[in-house]
Structure 1
C-alpha cells in the first residue's frame, strides 16, 4: 500500500535528518552551530529555489490555474506521482519543458489548489548557494562542507545528509537525490557496485564519487 502524503513527508523528513537502513547514527557529522543562510535579494531570480518557500514563481499558494498562466496548458499533465520505489505518493502535475527538463508539482490533495512541494529535474532552477541538478559531489562539498550520503542505486540511495552542513536549515525542506554517470558506471562497474546499496554510507570525500561522475539528478523541495 502506498504511503499517503503526510506519511511520505514524514519519511522524507526522516531521510533528511537521521538514519534509514544503513544510514547509521555514528555516520552523522559532528553537530556545529551553523549560520542561518538567507537568500540575498540580488540572488533571487525567477528560477531561484528557496527550500520551504518557493521554486521560481511556484509557492505554497500556487493553484493549478496559476501553472497554466505560468507555463501554458499544453505543457501540463496531471498524474499520480510516486517515488522512492512507490512508497511516497502525491497528486501531481508534470510541467514538461523539453527533453529531461521540467518540474513536477506535488499537491496537498486532488483539488490541486495548494502546493506541498516540487520535484525538480531541470538545471535552470538553483538554490541561492548555486545547488541544482548537475551539481557534482565535489561542487556540493565546496558549497556546504563535507557530508555523508546513503549508498547509491536503490530506492533511498544517493541522499546527502544535511545535518551538520552549512545548509542544515534546509532539513525537511530539501531532499537531494544523487546518482552516478551511467557511462562511467559501466566503465568502472566494480567500483560502482562498491558504493551502491542499502547499508552503505558514503563520505563526500570518497574519490570514487568523483571518478564515477556522481551528481545531483533530482531535488525535492517541500514548502512550510
Structure 2
C-alpha cells in the first residue's frame, strides 16, 4: 500500500510540473493545427483521421477534454462506436467508456468523467499510428525511448502500478510525454527467463538495466489524461 501511495504522489507531482511546463513553453499549444470545422465546431471527416498527433494533457488527435459522445458520432460515425467500461488500477475505479473502432493502428478508447459522456477524462490506445511530436507512441522501443528521453525509471513489470515510464528521482524529462506503458515480448521472456523474473514486481528499475536488454521491450499502450496532464514537464 505504501508503494502505491508513493507512486500516486509521484504522478500528481509530475502532472503539476507539466502544467507549469506548458505555460513556459507556448509552442506545445501552437503545434495544434487549425481544423476546418463544421457548423457545430467539430472537425470535419477529412481532418479527423489525418491528425494522429498527441499533445499530452491537451489533445489526442482531434479529441480534447470538451469532446462529447455526440462529437464522436459526427467525427467518426455511430457504427464505429461501442460502449466499454474503463477500469483503473486494481479495479478500484470504473468510468464509462467508448471505443472508437478505426482498425488495428488507429482505434482508441475514450473514458468519460460522467455518465452523460460530455467530458473526456482520458484516452487510451494500443494503436501505433498515434505519436507525440518527438515520434513516441505504441511500438517505440526501449532504445528509442532512451535516445529521446535519456535514462528513466520503470516501477517493475507485472503489477498494477508498474510498467510505466517515469523520470529518474529528482529529475524531469526534456519533453512532455503521455503516460507510456511498456510491454515485454513473450518469446523473449521465454528465452531469457532469469532476466524476465528479475524485472517483475514492486521494484524500481533503470532503463539501462542489463536485464532489460534482451526482453524486446516496447511501448504497448499510450494514455492521455485530461483531468491531470501527462507525467513530465518541459524545460
Interval containing the TM-score (normalised by the shorter chain): 0.7 to 0.9
Task: Calculate the aligned-residue CA RMSD, in Å.
Answer: 2.7
Distance in 1 of aligned mates of 2:26 and 2:151: 17
Max Rg structure: 2
Q: 1:17: Cα distance to partner? A: 5.4
Q: Deviations over 1:176-219 (max 9, x none)?
A: 11120111111112210111111x11111113323101111111
Aligned residues: 195
State the partner residue of 2:37: none
Secondary structure, counterpart of 1:191 in structure 2: helix
State the partner residue of 2:135: 130
Secondary structure, counterpart of 1:105 in structure 2: strand
Q: Which of 107, 111, 130 is the equivalent residue of 2:112? A: 107
1:69 paired to 2:77:
no
Deviates most, 148-157 or 85-94? 85-94
Q: Deviations over 1:38-61 (max 9, x none)?
A: 448679661000011110011111
TM-score by length of 2: 0.73
Runs of 4 or more off by more than 3 Å in structure 1? 10-15, 35-45
TM-score by length of 1: 0.77
Q: Deviations over 1:4-54 (max 9, x none)?
A: xxxxxx9986353579xxxxxxxxxxxxxxx84844867966100001111
The runs of 5 or more residues in structure 2 that have no matched partner are: 15-23, 34-49, 228-235
State the partner residue of 1:14: 9
Secondary structure, counterpart of 2:96 in structure 1: strand
State the partner residue of 1:221: 224
Conservation of the 8 A alpha-carbon contact between 2:111 and 2:123:
yes
Q: Which has the higher strand share?
A: 1
The 1:65–1:12 alpha-carbon spacing in structure 2 relative to 1, beyond 3 Å, is: farther
